[in-house]
Chain A
């Protein structure tokens, strides 16, 4: 292992090690101070930024396309191997750099923002875990490892949505987001298994797995399901406003910058396979375009700053999907980098928005000009009203998913429960409790 490979390994592992050490200590009774936590966060991410910068410098200097680190197999049985390969190439490095820089910045911001908050330690632990998951997903040299990082990002995202656990709404929204994530992640898992089954590998460190055209279509569609879920594309966009229940710094890094773009990264990674399939490419473009329009319409009717920003993000990510579907790979990467940076800044400034507005108003002597052109006013009034209703219920997407998936599944579950209850009068049966579950989150969750 040379110096550059060591640096890559360090950058990926550092947040995970910090998370593990602090959380184990806490489980055994240690309570670290806020100062310690914020300092260790600063040191960790600063060091990670330096490591990634050094790798970028090295690649730029030598013209080498990538640095790959093969750590052997995570585990191997028979002919099946789970390779542990980290890869820093021209696609993953921008995402790795973005992750460590923004995680460090959000960490520093949160040290003040969450000062004396009861969940200070929890937030920072989850931030480290999130950074580890993201870095693992972006530096993975195989889809197996990518799936591991992907799932870690998902669970930390959900736990941060439910961060303000004293209220029911964040908790129920967290559950809803978790359900959507898990449902869509089936696509990623099955896609990876399909790659193993057909190509014998899911590693892309030495090139993407070889698939026939039909196989490529199936794999792309499965991965598209996962990407659409993670990036809140239509029809899964309903979880995004629910995710705004989390603390603002986490919203910034998850839904303004890293997590929301993870789906796009996955599609960029499989872009050569995607290009083989007209059907999948067209679907990516269509989903992206519909999402962009949906985000633009709904965002205009959003009443709070974070939700507006979330839908603005959605519009841009939709556009990124269109670029990926069209095969404009590097435009998409540039778009993601620019968008993530600007959106993080906007999210972090969101709590001060009113304060900023008052300052501007004072500075201009109370004479603030209009805030842009409302092109929708050019539409017929009935269409405007229709779009407004569409926007208020966020495109009815949650309602559609509830009616098509959640309610039938719950009805089936209750039917099974009735079958199982034959001959059994358990504790719950005696109390006459009614089963409420995901539907509650469907009803309670909305803003």
Chain B
């Protein structure tokens, strides 16, 4: 039987980083080179996967490309002080595990990947004495594990594709999945672990962990497709919680002076509304959420990366409580910081302006309050970010030292690439928005239960999405050829944008 190229590429994208992690841990030399090569190969494999994926079902592949690009860039931005074998291997391990979570169509594999991404951080957070991140990550994993156990206990298959529209596990499983989202995403009142982790941890790897956005992934991949009716009834509660988080955290950030905490709060506030967008079931809302996901991820990585570069150069006592005047020493870092920050808070000309525009329009029907609350939260976030920018980079020049390096060439090029992504994406958003809108229609469309398929297909053989899943769909389609089941095997119905 010939090997499926998609399967090979998926395996390559996942296992190359893992092998790189082992190599970095063992060799302890040239760790940056190993890390960059491994993550770059993951980028290539993910890109090839994206090119072969149908436009309407390319969300996983797009996320794989995004996350592997971020890791690849992080390898270059990582300061020499942090570039040790532990950090690099941890980042590569996280990359492999995250790509596994993005690509899998099997609940057990998803659970395994979910837990694997937390392992490096749990060990490290335990040493650092940060209990809130530890508890939240553990709680989210436990909630997900129990939910999957409930589904398995009912004798349901473990393939996500087969479970679509079935509401497996009933309300209990739904509630546990929502709980997992709340813990992992940092939804109010469980939000405090996010800034804790950002401040207490190693900046760049923690930024990567926070930018996996597994909470949103769970919503897009499991909750909305598996529980369409339950989600329609009860999910608005989570959406309103997310909006409340956006607002609460935006207010909270106004008085924050620790740069990493402040950035984490602003990012959390800006990303909270992704959930409302995913739940809106409108093409605009879901597209806005997906594009916003990409912008928030890129901007947050850029910001936390620059803060770490400043900490290495200036000392780890950066604060927004007084002016540091660092722009005179590092003007380019100041500009990169400003652009990433303004992109995060929706400056026109950046991609997040489009994504927020779509988010608000899309959620107006399901959550009219969004139209009011999101601009308010965004305005406060913008003020918080601008305050941080002015305090770090403007004001009287610090006299404690005479020389501080601006962005080094490797940092400059990779940060410029990130800036170009958010800026060019904002000027010419059609390409990105159109791609995401195709996926959005798949998510927004109402899945139809197709019980005949679940009876036809076996249980947990579909470990990875590529190849085998497609084959199983074909098998299911041929087993029952009624119009309803055909719509079900497509996993979607024609898109309807009518107000609900």
Contacts and interface: CB of A to CB of B under 8 A. Distances in A.
Interface of A: 23-24, 26-29, 73-80, 82, 144, 147-149, 151-152, 155, 158, 162, 165-168, 171-172, 174-175, 178-179, 182-183, 185-186, 189-190, 193-194, 196-197, 409-410, 412-414, 416-417, 420, 423-424, 426-428, 433-438
Most buried by A among B287, B323, B409: B323
Given A166-B325, A179-B383, 6 more contacts: A74-B430, A77-B288, A77-B440, A78-B441, A147-B348, A420-B252
Contacts of B393: 165
Interface string B312-353: 000000011101010110001001100000100001110001
Contacts, number: 181
A327 to B, nearest CB: 30
B151 interface: no
B486 interface: no
B340 to A, nearest CB: 12
Contacts of B495: 78
Contacts of B364: 193, 196-197
B82 interface: no
The majority secondary structure among interface residues of chain B is: helix
Contacts of A152: 347-349
Given A78-B282, A178-B382, A420-B192, A190 B372 contact: yes
Contact of A24 (B261, B348, B416): B416
The majority secondary structure among interface residues of chain A is: helix
B257 A423 contact: no
Given A80-B284, A423-B132, A196 B386 contact: no
Contact of B287 (A77, A196, A197, A423): A77
A162 B390 contact: yes
B26 interface: no
B379 interface: yes
B251 interface: yes
B255 interface: yes
A82 B357 CA distance: 9
Given A162-B394, A420-B192, A410 B376 contact: no
Interface size class of B (residues with CB under 8 A): 35 or more
Contacts of B319: 428, 433
Contacts of A183: 379
Contacts of A144: 357
Given A78-B284, A155-B342, A168-B395, A73 B430 contact: yes
Most buried by A among B196, B347, B361, B364: B361
Interface in B234-255: 248, 251-255
A171 B254 contact: no
21 contacts: A29-B409, A74-B430, A75-B429, A77-B437, A77-B440, A78-B284, A80-B283, A144-B357, A151-B353, A165-B393, A171-B323, A175-B386, A179-B383, A182-B380, A185-B375, A186-B375, A190-B375, A413-B251, A417-B252, A433-B319, A437-B320
